Structure 1
Amino acid sequence: MDYSDSFLRAVLTRAKMIAVVGVSPNTVRPSYFVARYLKLKGFTVIPVNPGHAGKQLFGEVVRADLSEVPKEVDMVDVFRRSEAVPEIAEAALAHLPNLKTFWMQIGVEHAEAAARLQAAGVDVVMSRCPKIEYQRLFGELRMGGFSTGIISSKL
């Protein structure tokens, strides 16, 4: 999957309310620190995890599924296995009239679900992390030897 920087930047700039499907309250899980980071960056993060429904996370009530999230959600970020994506995509299309982006985390891909979402006018990102892309594109990735190609100390 090759996405242009301008496409990813546009997706991350327009997103306001993100439903994170499969988020964990365990602070050492990647889903937790990605969702926390997005919250700290000013996004409204709606946690979705049936095993923790009703609890509080990031100042929001954890929802059991996408049918319970606010209609204003405009991006879904999926922390589930690829085989779970079609059901999540259908729920997103059925319950989220403002959905603009369906984002699948690193290692999560489903071409058929992506095609269905795109046919409905939804932008799809597969096998990428919004936290990493945000840091890379907005000049915050500064450790680990990553070459972002965005900021340079060369004159």
Structure 2
Amino acid sequence: MLSSPDVSAVLRSARTIAVVGCSPRGFQTSHRIARYIQDAGFAMIPVNPNHDEILGETAYPTLDAVPDDVQIDVVDVFRRPEFTADVVRDAARRSERTGDRPTIWTQIGVHSAEAEQLAQEAGLPYVADRCLMVDHAALR
């Protein structure tokens, strides 16, 4: 069993964060946090099958669709818990192809035991039920 990663170390070393479930609507939490990620200096990759662009960035329908030459350090998940395992499956497939080992970060209320188990089996660090923006802001 993998231990939970050191959140501050993850955020200090990360350069690129994929936001799965990123919304184009400014009032949505995923949109506000994606903008925060950009403003904090991270490269932000929106993942949403219904949009081609969000916050000025190319949006991808799935993690699998993000070009393999783009290293993803953190996968920030804004999907309902029943869909979180599918996000981890996508991340694991991509990890097998690219060799990247992104941290799976489930926002508050998004965690699922199945997703955590799949991440462990794939060797992907997993952060459960935490707000990336709150944790990052606390480091500043």
Q: TM-score, normalised by structure 1?
A: 0.79
- Alpha-carbon shift at residue 60 of structure 1 (Å): 1.5
Please tell me whether residue 64 in structure 1 is matched to residue 66 in structure 2: no
- Alpha-carbon shift at residue 112 of structure 1 (Å): 2.2
Structure 1 segments (4+ residues) deviating >6 Å: none
Give me the whole-angstrom Cα distance separating, in 1, the residues matched to 2:100 and 2:9.
Answer: 16
Give me the whole-angstrom Cα distance separating, in 2, the residues matched to 1:100 and 1:43.
Answer: 14
Give me the whole-angstrom Cα distance separating, in 2, the residues matched to 1:79 and 1:42.
Answer: 20
User: Percent identical across equivalent pairs?
Assistant: 41
Give me the whole-angstrom Cα distance separating, in 1, the residues matched to 2:73 and 2:120.
Answer: 14
In structure 2, what residue type is equivalent to 1:11?
V
Contact 2:64 2:94 in 1 (8 A): yes
- Alpha-carbon shift at residue 122 of structure 1 (Å): 1.4
Contact 1:17 1:44 in 2 (8 A): yes
Q: Summarize deviations over 1:25-65 as a string: whole Å, max 9, x none.
A: 1111110010110111111100001111x2x2233211111
Aligned length: 133
Contact 1:45 1:58 in 2 (8 A): no
Structure 1 unmatched ranges of 5 or more: 139-155
- Alpha-carbon shift at residue 98 of structure 1 (Å): 1.0
Structure 2 counterpart of 1:149:
none
Structure 2 counterpart of 1:86:
85
Contact 1:50 1:63 in 2 (8 A): yes
Structure 1 counterpart of 2:103:
101
Provide the alpha-carbon RMSD of the alignment.
1.8
Larger radius of gyration: 1
Structure 2 counterpart of 1:128:
130
Greater Cα offset, 75-84 or 104-113: 104-113
Contact 2:34 2:44 in 1 (8 A): yes
